[in-house]
Structure 1
Amino acid sequence: MKFTPIAILAATLLSSAAYAEDVTLTIESWRNDDLKLWQDKIIPAFEASNPGIKLKFTPMAPTEYNSAINSKLGAGTAGDLISCRPFDASLALYKAGYLEDLTSMDAMSNFSDVAKAAWQTDDAAHTFCVPMASVIHGFIYNKDAFDELGLTAPETEEEFFAVLDKIKEDGSYIPMAMGTNDQWEAATMGYQNIGPTYWKGEEGRLALIKGEQKLTDPQWVEPYEVLHKWAPYLGDGFEAQTYPDSQNLFTLGRAAIYPAGSWEIAMFNEQADFKMGAFKPPVKAKSDTCYISDHVDIGIGMNAKTENPEAAKTFLAWVASPEFAEIFGNALPGFFPLSSAPVEISDPLAEEFVSWRGDCETTIRSTYQILSRGTPNLENETWGASAAAIKGTATPEELGKKLQDGLDSWYKPQK
């Protein structure tokens, strides 16, 4: 078969024309509350610096996402880019061949091992989603109330309880807003908030997965002892208090301290009419290393069957960039970019939370990776145990034994 110079030129021009056409990437997500952010800020910023690639953000209801994205991927109708929930839901998509392996992308070097852990295989050999954002645990407090009572943010466990005692003694405020009715609140804002201080963050979490530590060990039991000491400061009727009740008690100015996740920041900014501050989980002694739960929340991966893999990887590399981090971190205060590049956060409360990354060791919630795949589910069991610890319906030692017995019944780590 022969090609004339004219035919070759024509073919080249056709190829160039096809390449020059805009590529449209569709992004699947459960974050339907983020639609305006994508339309107004993220998409324009990316398209301005990447001519030829258009983005279409197509969120769905959060409760429908897992089943819907599985169906769309199975039918071959899913978008080019897939928002990734942390751990097992996304791992299942990767194992089914729906998500592309992104391990070799240069952009992955912008993230810590902790940040990538939610979107890796159990052996950490393969990473299949680019980390986007996390939420950080700590305590939000009413600054006006603290100023009124002459209090400063506590740093140590001793100072923490001394502050609670002073607030209780004054009687103007409920010392701390948290209930046990919903159980998950006690576990997420209680046990997983202060616990890393005792089990030393990643050191303890990974040792638990390997079977080198048990939930009956002192470092896993002691947080329940501390939670029980919270009970006298939670106000009358905390046993029946729901999560929205706790939020309202704080934003209405009736409680001085709120054990928090940073996702509360945007709503609290809207609802509270007083100044707020934040302090990190107290350490035992000022010389101790501090630990924070900087829990991975959302990532984004590439549909293995996308027809636009190069364009998709261009977008994923941009998600790992400082430009994206600054846009996302400031548009959604309390949802913090996971890339290692420093980001200037304009919201003062969010900036306080994210500043702890420079002071403390970071970890993720201890029950989320591997340990909640069986029955009984360790995450759900920890909810009940945390509520029971606060109420005193079981001893910390009994709770640790129950949790470990449940884990032993189905989880046999490789020795």
Structure 2
Amino acid sequence: MFNVRSVLPVSKLTCVTALVLSSIGATQAADTLSIESWRSDDANIWNDVIIPAFNKSHPDIKVTFAPTPPTEYNSALQAKLKAGSAGDLITCRPFDTSLELYKQGYLTNLDGLEGLKDFSDVAKSAWVTDDGKDQFCLPVASVIHGYVYNKEIFEELDLTPPKTRAEFFKVLDTIKSESRYTPLAMGTADQWEAATMGFQNIGPNYWKGEAGRKALLTGEAKLTDAPYVDTWKELAQWKPYLGRGFEAQKYSDSQNLFTLGRAAIYPAGSWDIQTFNTQADFEFGAFPPPVPKAGDTCYISDHTDMGIGINAGSDNQAAAKVFLNWMASKEFATLYANAVPGFFPLSNTSVELKDPVAQEFLSWRNQCESTIRNSYQILSRGTPNLENQLWNVSAQVINGTMTPEQAAKETQDGLEQWYEPQQ
């Protein structure tokens, strides 16, 4: 057997050994990527579907998915980044949380990344600096707001999904007066649902989507303007349809009320599709927020929810960019959208979904104008925090303890305390 020791002196053997070991180590480091994420529920999908698909075309890059529970992710990630122990790829929350990481030097500037050309400015807006110059995360997925409904109940009561607000309340009246079912499955105990599945769901039809959202940013519009007051006025009309004790009803209670077949309509985020697929034993469908009147342009909240960036401290920048460019592909978009129904690709490529309800949500992009939640970009980085205020006042409006006008004044006064364009 060939023996290195027989042909090299010890000093040279040591050098050769060091070179070989360092070469092996460099190769392993360059070809190994670890992903930080809060999507712990999706671990099996990444490990069994997404990563194997990537390795078919990139067998030389090993990828591991290392999620942290959602409630612990932000603090745990910050600690890892400070300690220099975070993974190579960072799953990005939208807007300020990730922007702050970029400002602190923890995320790589992605300007010039080939895959970014396949995303619109709206899709990229959650992970770009305020001046629009620096992109620091690749957009991955959005969630869409609307309503999910029990098809069996609608058939029993001879109802069809409403298209206008008048039709919507007529449907609610029919369910309330002619059946034993709760018309709307939503509570206000957790508050965030009142804003997220209430205010941000129906509001874009009032403030005209992106035009209205951007007008708040520039100061051209105020929260005391008619579109916002009218949004809260409609929310106030929900109270009679929410069922007994809705003030103490939590998010999980609302899900259970719907999946047990006791409620007809659920104000939804598309992320609920997976839960309902698992728990509901009836067929359900979806419809978008009804427009003011027939023929009006419809607007949907197609909210940027998740991106992915590169740890600026990673030694594997080149391999990480290879992975991100693959994530911008139609292959990834199709895999992810079908593996995680209700989380929709943000790239411009079109995909076909196997889940009929997810496909229904996605089809609204072709029918309606898309926008994002109006409190997420810039407007919630001061004190008081606009997002938290919207939770509170929207819940109070539905409860009947605050008027729409009072909700408008409180949020506008809060914004004026710290946001210069609104002063």
TM-score (normalised: structure 2): 0.92
State the match for 2:79 in structure 1.
Answer: 71
Question: What code does the residue aligned with 1:320 have?
Answer: A
Question: What code does the residue aligned with 1:194 have?
Answer: I
Deviation of the 1:112 alpha carbon? 1.5
| Secondary structure of residue in 1 paired with 2:281 | coil
State the match for 2:51 in structure 1.
Answer: 43
Q: CA 1:107/1:398 → structure 2, altered by over 3 Å: closer, same or farther?
A: same
Q: CA 1:174/1:19 → structure 2, altered by over 3 Å: closer, same or farther?
A: closer
- CA deviation string 1:296-349 (max 9, x = no partner): 111100111222221111100111111001111111111111111111110111
1:330 maps to 2:333: no
In structure 1, list runs of 5 or more residues that go unmatched.
Answer: 1-10
In structure 2, list runs of 5 or more residues that go unmatched.
Answer: 1-18
Spell out the pairing of 1:76-155 with structure 2 (5 A cutoff). Answer: 76-155=84-163
Question: What code does the residue aligned with 2:403 have?
Answer: T
C-alpha separation in 1, matches of 2:320 and 2:233:
49
State the match for 1:238 in structure 2.
Answer: 246
Contact 1:22/1:54 (CA < 8 Å) preserved in 2? no
| Secondary structure of residue in 2 paired with 1:182 | coil
| Secondary structure of residue in 2 paired with 1:413 | helix
Deviation of the 1:71 alpha carbon? 2.2
State the match for 1:4 in structure 2.
Answer: none
Q: Say which of 351, 354, 376 aligns to 1:368.
A: 376
C-alpha separation in 2, matches of 1:47 and 1:164:
50
C-alpha separation in 2, matches of 1:172 and 1:17:
67
Deviation of the 1:359 alpha carbon? 0.8
Q: Say which of 180, 183, 195 aligns to 2:203.
A: 195
| Secondary structure of residue in 1 paired with 2:227 | helix
State the match for 1:221 in structure 2.
Answer: 229
Query: What is the percent sequence identity of the aligned residues?
Result: 63
State the match for 2:182 in structure 1.
Answer: 174
Deviation of the 1:138 alpha carbon? 0.3
State the match for 2:393 in structure 1.
Answer: 385
1:395 maps to 2:418: no
Question: What code does the residue aligned with 1:56 have?
Answer: T
1:317 maps to 2:325: yes
Question: What code does the residue aligned with 1:123 have?
Answer: D
Q: CA 1:20/1:36 → structure 2, altered by over 3 Å: closer, same or farther?
A: closer
Q: CA RMSD in A?
A: 2.0
C-alpha separation in 1, matches of 2:29 and 2:179:
68
C-alpha separation in 2, matches of 1:237 and 1:22:
57
C-alpha separation in 2, matches of 1:271 and 1:372:
35
C-alpha separation in 2, matches of 1:315 and 1:81:
9
| Secondary structure of residue in 1 paired with 2:421 | coil
Contact 1:22/1:52 (CA < 8 Å) preserved in 2? no
C-alpha separation in 1, matches of 2:396 and 2:154:
30
Aligned length: 403
Question: What code does the residue aligned with 1:322 have?
Answer: K
C-alpha separation in 2, matches of 1:403 and 1:15:
59
Question: What code does the residue aligned with 1:285 have?
Answer: K
Deviation of the 1:284 alpha carbon? 0.8
Q: CA 1:165/1:373 → structure 2, altered by over 3 Å: closer, same or farther?
A: same
C-alpha separation in 1, matches of 2:25 and 2:146:
54
Question: What code does the residue aligned with 1:364 have?
Answer: I
Q: Say which of 362, 366, 386 aligns to 1:354.
A: 362
State the match for 1:294 in structure 2.
Answer: 302
Deviation of the 1:69 alpha carbon? 1.7
Question: What code does the residue aligned with 1:397 have?
Answer: E
C-alpha separation in 1, matches of 2:243 and 2:417:
38
Question: What code does the residue aligned with 1:108 have?
Answer: L
Deviation of the 1:22 alpha carbon? 6.9
C-alpha separation in 1, matches of 2:332 and 2:25:
30
Spell out the pairing of 1:260-279 with structure 2 (5 A cutoff). Answer: 260-279=268-287
State the match for 1:5 in structure 2.
Answer: none
C-alpha separation in 2, matches of 1:359 and 1:316:
30
Question: What code does the residue aligned with 2:366 have?
Answer: G
Q: Say which of 63, 68, 76 aligns to 1:60.
A: 68
C-alpha separation in 2, matches of 1:119 and 1:21:
27
Question: What code does the residue aligned with 1:412 have?
Answer: E
Q: Say which of 398, 402, 412 aligns to 1:404.
A: 412
Contact 1:20/1:52 (CA < 8 Å) preserved in 2? no
State the match for 2:8 in structure 1.
Answer: none
Contact 2:187/2:254 (CA < 8 Å) preserved in 1? yes
C-alpha separation in 1, matches of 2:250 and 2:33:
41
| Secondary structure of residue in 2 paired with 1:394 | coil
Deviation of the 1:102 alpha carbon? 0.8
State the match for 2:261 in structure 1.
Answer: 253
TM-score (normalised: structure 1): 0.93
Question: What code does the residue aligned with 1:357 have?
Answer: R
Deviation of the 1:42 alpha carbon? 0.7
- CA deviation string 1:156-211 (max 9, x = no partner): 11110111111112022111111112211111110010000100111111110111
| Secondary structure of residue in 2 paired with 1:118 | helix
- CA deviation string 1:21-47 (max 9, x = no partner): 971111111222211111101111001
Q: CA 1:346/1:132 → structure 2, altered by over 3 Å: closer, same or farther?
A: same
| Secondary structure of residue in 1 paired with 2:146 | strand
Runs of 4+ in 1 over 4 A off after TM superposition: 14-22
Contact 1:194/1:281 (CA < 8 Å) preserved in 2? yes
Question: What code does the residue aligned with 1:332 have?
Answer: V
Question: What code does the residue aligned with 1:257 have?
Answer: I
